[in-house]
Chain A
Amino acid sequence: MTGTTGATSETRTLSRSDAEDFLYHEAELLDGNQLDRWLELFTDDAVYWVPARHDEADPQRHVSLIYDDRGRIEERIWRLSVGPAHAQIPPSVTRRLITNVRVSDAEYGAVVRSNFAIFEVRKGTQRSFAGEYEHRLVPHGPGWRIRRRTARLVNCEAPIVNLTFLV
């Protein structure tokens, strides 16, 4: 499946309250396992990135925990929903909190930074992951699309068990 970018040259500002609505909606899709609808939030040239280091991470020179282009996001969703993705049998149950939302304008749209805490339970064990999201959003029709979604985990340099749920 492919989405459309619908990116236009129009410049619009994004209020913090609209940014929060966008993030809460996205979180609801992720925690509710509505991954096809989550995919619709992305542009065709989107990147989903989870760096493996705190400072000066450059995905062209440094390896990441996740660095998906649109095609690999689609493959990831296919694995999770059709699979079998064995590390997600049984699947993780997640619930995420999003706070400290900050919006700044960018040439192409808006940059939204927020803090997150994700509680994840699988096979009877609960774990928590925290970090900062950075969503680079571009205008799309009356709404917005994600061109670059970065999740900076506070434990990105620490040993990690099974990062196959969606951060």
Chain B
Amino acid sequence: MYDGETVRAPYLDLAGWVSDMPPDLLDLKRAEADALFRRIGITFAVYGEGGDPERLIPFDIFPRVFTAHEWRRLERGVKQRAQALNAFLRDVYGRAEIVRAGRIPAERIFQNAAYEPAVVGIQPPRGIYSHIVGVDIVRTGPTDFFVLEDNCRTPSGVSYMLENREIMMRMFPDLFQRNRVEPVDDYPNQLRRTLMSVAPESCKGGPTVVLLTPGSLNSAYYEHSFLADQMGVELVEGQDLFVDGDHVYMRTTMGPKRVDVIYRRIDDDFLDPLCFRPDSMLGVPGLLNVYRAGNVAIASAPGAGVADDKAIYTYVPEMIRFYLGEEPVLANVPTWQCGNPDDLAYVLGNLSDLVVKEVHGSGGYGMLVGPAATREEVEAYARRIRANPSEFIAQPTLSLSTTPTYVESGLAPRHVDLRPYCLVGERIHLCAGGLTRVALREGSLVVNSSQGGGVKDTWVLAD
């Protein structure tokens, strides 16, 4: 928000709102927001972070704002990425033209653990693999956006986007009268339409959609039940579904009911013990056979994870050029693959200026933030990289933009990122908003909730 020393235009009104509000009222409002979250019982953990499933994430009452003009560019960029990622998945599970064309090395795909041989040659309904694409974006200047990573499997956090807005509207209705903010509450409805639009062709009449959860002990269970409820679909566990003949059914009080679309929030590995991990108790035996025979849609499609792998990320701009014939609207963060000897040498020589991540890590754990690390930490990390170079990637530290955030001492700039949610079905739709995560510690670049991160409401102003 800070443009040098001045506040950028979209925030002017909000800054006035805060400066006009007596500090004790602001404190009161903040406490009220916390109480509301507790009463609703919303608890949340970003995908893969683990930890206490009933933990509460700190909520910052100061919203993040995008102008309509800024958002249009982001929207173009995110949709472009979502289309390219789906085209890539269609291709690599088909003839893999991008490999034949020499644009991506074969081993990056075929030897990737997320590439599923079991679904090669299988066309999912409408050719869509990733139906919900969450793109993590940071901003480094007024017009500079970078994509940190793509989430093609089951990006979580959307319940926070919806609840944050609910709470803001309830606490500060006057703000929404003074600013024309694009609504986000249509998301569950759009998600349901997206899922219904990918029902298999053999499905007659209105498709039955279910949300498949690993169960109430999962860290994102709240989100699963929230979304199922908002969409008006059943929240099922593996034990509620079974395969008989050509179809998958759910057990209901009226007997078996055929299921046409499964929005799954469990990993490929656990979907079907007859195809993936034989010891999985969470999945549905035979489900992958029904899927491969074209009698049920699974969102995201099994195998979609190969598109959001950190080792594939580097090639997304190439995919956009190859499949869409366009230049990428949103840039990638320059990334060094330590598995590549030249890159490794550069990374080891410049560790104190770089951010290094594990290829398969998530949640901000196990990463090195060079500029903030001690010499000992840097050296210890260098040893880990040398032991297993291909497990690491490195990126430059970006001068991330900040937004005003309400902390102990009042309003202060804190670093943020953004995850908008793009739905891909019969139509492609980007929800005008998203999840803004904020690094609450001063100077920190890590926004993960497990590492002292919080969340904010995200506004897209109408024209």
- Do these two chains really belong together in a complex? no
Contact surface of B with A, Cβ cutoff 8 Å: none
